[in-house]
Amino acid sequence: MQKNWAGNLTYTATEVAHPSTIDEVRELLASGGPVSVLGTRHCFNDIADTEGILIALDRMPREIEVNQARDAVRVSSALRYGDIAPELEAQGLALANLASLPHISVAGAVATGTHGSGDRIGSLASAVRGLTILTASGEIRQLVRGDAEFDGAVVSLGALGIVLDVTLDVEPTYQVVQHVFDAPQWDAILADFDAVTGAGTSVSIFTAWQRTDAADMLWIKQRTPDQRAGERRARRASGRGTSGR
Ligand SMILES: Cc1cc2nc3c(=O)[nH]c(=O)nc-3n(C[C@H](O)[C@H](O)[C@H](O)COP(=O)(O)OP(=O)(O)OC[C@H]3O[C@@H](n4cnc5c(N)ncnc54)[C@H](O)[C@@H]3O)c2cc1C
């Protein structure tokens, strides 16, 4: 049977179905047995598992739709962050935060409260401004930020139904500079832990299990404005000047 990504868990489900339309998903829901929805199988535990059918949405239509205001994107729930980020980047947009992996599904990550690192940036769920959910009875429900049930529905652990699409906040794209420090001493890190974790947009401290005096690595990522946006503006400005004079 199907294993999770790490290979340390074998799902007990009898079948993995790959519907490609909402009607096919509805048929699976109406089949009577227990079902659960599967993302990209990165959970280390059996939260996605069921004794019946696992429904994977990876063959559903692929949609990435930026709104007119260019401050949100609606994406099919099975898409991975690694699918979305380059398409946003091509449009000069970005998400505020990512987890450590590009190949986890948006719905699975959001449903489990997946987070990146950084003192001042929210978890991936905090970017969600809307959800379309197919309930067990086959009804489609739309929830948006501000609705009474919205906050509880975002980190649903897969328990409320099948999330078909997710609308995420986006912002103008930016660059990230990363500084890597080898074997930083724990004494130095713990002397002012808040200063270390607050030293960048995202800070990761990797443990070296073989030694106690120092961590393995410290990564500090810092956002910088997108230089290319400035270059694009500069090119446009000089173009206008050339043709106008
Ligand atoms: C190597 C590795 C690195 C990781 N790094 C991080 C990290 O940096 N930060 C962090 O916080 N976590 C991290 N994780 C954990 C990972 O982000 C979570 O396990 C996340 O849930 C994975 O998403 P998935 O799509 O694989 O979900 P799955 O494991 O497939 O499913 C997880 C849950 O989401 C539900 N679900 C999936 N799709 C839908 C849907 N369409 N509708 C409704 N419910 C759905 C499932 O039913 C299940 O309950 C890491 C995991 C691994 C293996």
Task: Answer whether 43 contacts ligand 1 (Cβ < 6 A).
Answer: yes
pTM for this prediction: 0.90
Going by their DSSP bridges, the two strands 15-17 and 53-56 should be labelled as parallel
* 237, containing H or E segment: helix 227-244
For residue 106, how far is its CA from the centre of ligand 1 (angstroms)? Answer: 8
Dist CA 78 CA 16 (whole Å) = 15
The per-residue pLDDT for range 110-135, each reduced to its tens digit, is 999 999 888 888 999 999 999 999 99
The per-residue pLDDT for range 135-187, each reduced to its tens digit, is 999 999 999 999 999 999 999 999 999 999 999 999 999 999 999 999 999 99
What confidence score (pLDDT) does residue 232 get? 52
Q: Quote the longest CA-to-CA distance of the chain.
A: 73
Task: Answer whether 204 contacts ligand 1 (Cβ < 6 A).
Answer: no
Task: Answer whether 215 contacts ligand 1 (Cβ < 6 A).
Answer: no
Q: Check the CA dihedral 223-88-73-97 and report its sign.
A: negative
Task: Answer whether 55 contacts ligand 1 (Cβ < 6 A).
Answer: no
pLDDT above 90 as % of the chain: 84
Task: Answer whether 136 contacts ligand 1 (Cβ < 6 A).
Answer: no
Looking at the chain, the number of H-run helices and the number of E-run strands are 7, 13
> Could you identify the atom of ligand 1 that is nearest to the CA of residue 162?
42
Averaged pLDDT, 83-88: 97
The per-residue pLDDT for range 205-235, each reduced to its tens digit, is 999 888 899 999 999 999 986 666 555 555 5
What confidence score (pLDDT) does residue 245 get? 25
Q: How confident is the model at residue 240 (pLDDT cuts 50, 70, 90)?
A: very low
Token pair recorded at residue 147: 């609705």
Query: CA-CA distances (angstroms) from residue 164 to 7, 54, 75, 76, 183?
Result: 27, 15, 9, 6, 44
